A and B are shown apart, each in its own frame.
Chain A
């Protein structure tokens, strides 16, 4: 068991001011909790965590004060109003709803592709969680430093992975399985494999985390405002 500060990933991020973290793996294997643990690390202590398209009342009621929810804006001009350069860590949970590969022509997808190209200018960290990179528009990988973070992926889903990710995920699956067997006292979902640096990370759950945090869209559709919010808008 080693300190995260000794890892290659930490050394890469130590002086970085932007980057894209892609968390992939089958549903309910700990992607959402993992990305939240990571975003709360002191590396990003000077940033507020922005949950895109989460229900604002859910975030206000259940998350610490360094969180806020923002809806993806209708116009790209409004992005600068919701994301603060150098001061935000942006999380796009279940990114298939926003940057889905089958929705590559939608306004939201085009806007976020444009944002990715200037994420370094805005000094933003962006983390996306998705079950399979084939579900995500490839432009998310093309413009910035990408850090691949893996959770277990179902073997059937693995067959449909993008070739560039498939070998990494195969290795990640085996490594995650080995660590689960070797460290049975550690919660199996606490392990995350980083294939950018070939390192295993353990991310203990925050004390405030509950099962409802892992299902923020329970009974909801991502990005849909409630009728009361529509009236306010």
Chain B
């Protein structure tokens, strides 16, 4: 597997991906690799990039680095087994970051959401005529 096609993600995201793969909602040739030292791999990769190490040497060093970790590639039914084992662990903390709510500025439109909000009137399109024409005549007019 080339480094370019490898994506390292946290365990919660990996579980989400495994669920989709297991449910066979997609037919992508994705290989899941569990590793106990993805952080070390990333540090080595960053180090090599910082010192301009590229090409075959870089790929070889990264390959050896990845093989040094305790890891296992998962395919097919093995994926199901591994997912079962993962789910028995402690549940992930599903936290999220709140991007600040912008302040209301003077001159901006008032909020119109919620049950108490007045009924909003949509601005009519500029290019729609007020009255529509008769349209295309029907092939079989009703008697």
Residues of A within 8 A of B (CB): 1-4, 6-7, 9-10, 37-38, 40-42, 62-66, 155, 158-159, 166-168, 170-171, 173-175, 178-179, 182-183, 191, 198-212, 218-220, 226
In the bound complex, residues from chain A placing their C-beta under 8 Å from that of B95 are 1-2, 200
Give complex CA distance A96, B80 in Å.
39
Q: B127 and A201: CB pair below 8 A?
A: no
Q: How many residue pairs, one in A and one in B, have C-beta atoms under 8 Å apart?
A: 132
Contact of B99 among A63, A167, A203 (CB under 8 A): A203
The smallest beta-carbon distance between A162 and chain B, in angstroms, is: 12
In the bound complex, residues from chain A placing their C-beta under 8 Å from that of B84 are none
Q: What are the interface flags for B83-96 relative to A under an 8 Å C-beta threshold, 1 for contact and 0 otherwise?
A: 00000000000111
**Chain B count of residues within 8 A CB distance of the other chain:** 39
- In this complex, what residue of B is CB-closest to A55? B126
- In this complex, what residue of A is CB-closest to B110? A208
Give complex CA distance A43, B12 in Å.
28
Q: A212 and B17: CB pair below 8 A?
A: no
Q: A4 and B7: CB pair below 8 A?
A: no
Given A64-B105, A208-B104: A198 and B125 interface contact (C-beta under 8 Å): no
Q: What are the interface flags for B20-35 relative to A under an 8 Å C-beta threshold, 1 for contact and 0 otherwise?
A: 1000011010100000
Q: A208 and B20: CB pair below 8 A?
A: no
- In this complex, what residue of B is CB-closest to A192? B99
In the bound complex, residues from chain A placing their C-beta under 8 Å from that of B109 are 62, 208, 210
In the bound complex, residues from chain A placing their C-beta under 8 Å from that of B102 are 37, 40-41, 206-207
Q: List 23 A-B contacts (CB under 8 A).
A: A4-B97, A41-B102, A64-B107, A167-B7, A167-B28, A170-B20, A171-B13, A171-B16, A178-B16, A179-B96, A198-B10, A199-B96, A200-B97, A201-B96, A201-B97, A203-B99, A204-B99, A209-B113, A210-B112, A210-B120, A212-B120, A218-B122, A219-B123
- In this complex, what residue of A is CB-closest to B111? A207
In the bound complex, residues from chain B placing their C-beta under 8 Å from that of A9 are 97
Q: A171 and B9: CB pair below 8 A?
A: yes
In the bound complex, residues from chain A placing their C-beta under 8 Å from that of B122 are 211-212, 218
Give complex CA distance A182, B91 in Å.
13
The smallest beta-carbon distance between B108 and chain A, in angstroms, is: 4
- In this complex, what residue of A is CB-closest to B122? A212
In the bound complex, residues from chain B placing their C-beta under 8 Å from that of A219 are 123-128
The smallest beta-carbon distance between A51 and chain B, in angstroms, is: 14
Q: B26 and A207: CB pair below 8 A?
A: no
Most buried by B among A6, A178, A226: A178
Q: A166 and B28: CB pair below 8 A?
A: yes
- In this complex, what residue of B is CB-closest to A194? B97
In the bound complex, residues from chain A placing their C-beta under 8 Å from that of B126 are 219-220, 226
Give complex CA distance A195, B140 in Å.
56
